[in-house]
Structure 1
């Protein structure tokens, strides 16, 4: 399956693909979940479509296999948040949380597409819904939650941000300000006291690499940046964007005596997982290479190549504790597994099969998001 971006703000006209290897007429029926139990992996299953989704399920796995599921209506570009409060997700009309029990809450507004979803401290969640185009502007609806309970609503106009971060006690978006033009903005989505999203500092020229759950260092959101979206070989910088005043600490990345440049195709139309280890920024590009950059010197080295490549439309990477977990479909989606890597050097620690996934997947549906528990770890014998 080709890496294809499902949805772009203001334009849903992408070519649909045939889904191969999904289950037969009736997917295996798991019991409806009543709590997390010993589950440590969750997958969000629904249609990959330009039309509104019509169904789906979240399937929970423990180390022996699938244990339960939660049926839902699905939503385009789904996400999962799993923190100490529980596993949180949404469909078009309903919010869900699984902890020691299953909770559901009907939202005051419906939406068929997510823009993003980011967890914060103490069970806070910020959910961004696509409210479409109006008067030439993108409208993004924002819900700020405590657990499953929506505390406030707001709107964010004309944002194309594709990076979100929990940083300095708040939840932030960073990225393109408008559909056209290489300008980026940093915005607090859950300002103290509620109210409208708060711009932090001024807009900055250039393009941010979509990083979804971007790391935070010294109260600054850490992102990869380049100057021109039309460049085929952009030179990268690491930015540390202050959540206090919007100032930017810029570190040009270097490879030997030269600036570090990459083929733009390994960064575009996909999410690039990024994380920090010992003050260094690590990421995996869409060609299966892993990189590490020193945020003080900019020295950048390739630490792995030949990693399995994930489908671009799937939110397939999760960083949890000392592990980086990758969801991979194989054999035309007839099976799937998790690759569990050390977050320090991307050494493969374990490959964990996800048995009965095809049998648990309804016809014409597929996994579009994955999450692991906060205490996730490989099997003890493999650590």
Structure 2
């Protein structure tokens, strides 16, 4: 535990230096601060190696809308840090299993092990969940916001080589992985709001109570 805490402390210390990296424009770059150098690595040189701790730093959605989106994934072994630049993802998540470290930005999904696999995958820039399902598979949930059909989330399922997108109604700030299937809890919206009203009327209610109740929805394998 002490090793992990010291590694995390080293990563947090490096955060103070990363704010000046926003002007980097690709490739590898170096930052020097207080006599220490951090290398911003490209996809050809970034790898897990002996990393013990990972941290994802990103600008927020409002910055992305203004064209100022940027993110960094920082790896630390407790003695040194390595940095990889991304296009940014608000409230970004990381999933780490035997197949590697998985994360996303607005344009791609990434699986990092002895190398970086970049999977084209455009999506909303606010993440709400990420789970490792085992066997190199991952599922993430991204907030699309209000649409003509109600509130929507984009589900991204990846096998580490290809990502598949689907859309579900609702805003799922509470999620769970149950035996490889992603479930979320949300107030009903769109077609689910209508169904909730029908269910309460069928039970002798006025149809309104159900539209404000929390609903559990299967987010994966739902089209």
> Unmatched 5+ residue regions in structure 2?
1-14, 22-30, 33-37, 194-210
> Residue 121 in 1 paired to residue 134 in 2?
yes
Using a 3 Å threshold, how does the CA distance of structure 1 residues 156 and 65 change in structure 2: closer, same or farther?
same
Report if aligned partners of 2:61, 2:126 keep a CA contact under 8 Å in 1: no
| 1:93, distance to aligned residue in structure 2 (A) | 0.5
Report if aligned partners of 1:88, 1:148 keep a CA contact under 8 Å in 2: no
Residue 51 of structure 1 aligns to a residue whose secondary structure is: helix
Does 1 or 2 have the higher relative contact order (CA < 8 Å, sep 6+)? 1
Q: What are the residue-to-residue correspondences of 1:30-41 with 2, within 5 Å?
A: 30-32=39-41, 33-41=45-53
Q: Which residue of 1 aligns with 2:168?
A: 156
| 1:136, distance to aligned residue in structure 2 (A) | 5.8
> Residue 61 in 1 paired to residue 76 in 2?
yes
Counterpart among 154, 163, 187 of residue 141 in structure 1: 154
Report if aligned partners of 1:118, 1:164 keep a CA contact under 8 Å in 2: no
Residue 50 of structure 1 aligns to a residue whose secondary structure is: helix
Tell me the C-alpha RMSD between the 2 structures. 2.6
Q: What are the residue-to-residue correspondences of 1:183-332 with 2, within 5 Å?
A: 183-191=213-221, 195-196=222-223
> Unmatched 5+ residue regions in structure 1?
1-20, 197-383
Q: TM-score, normalised by structure 2?
A: 0.66
Report if aligned partners of 2:61, 2:125 keep a CA contact under 8 Å in 1: no
Report if aligned partners of 1:161, 1:177 keep a CA contact under 8 Å in 2: no
Using a 3 Å threshold, how does the CA distance of structure 1 residues 132 and 49 change in structure 2: closer, same or farther?
closer
Using a 3 Å threshold, how does the CA distance of structure 1 residues 187 and 122 change in structure 2: closer, same or farther?
farther
Q: TM-score, normalised by structure 1?
A: 0.40
Q: Which residue of 1 aligns with 2:106?
A: 92
CA distance in 1, matches of 2:78, 2:40: 17
Using a 3 Å threshold, how does the CA distance of structure 1 residues 81 and 174 change in structure 2: closer, same or farther?
same
Counterpart among 166, 171, 175 of residue 177 in structure 2: 166
Counterpart among 27, 45, 50 of residue 57 in structure 2: 45
Whichever structure has more helix as a proportion of its residues is 2
CA distance in 2, matches of 1:72, 1:85: 20
Number of equivalent positions: 169
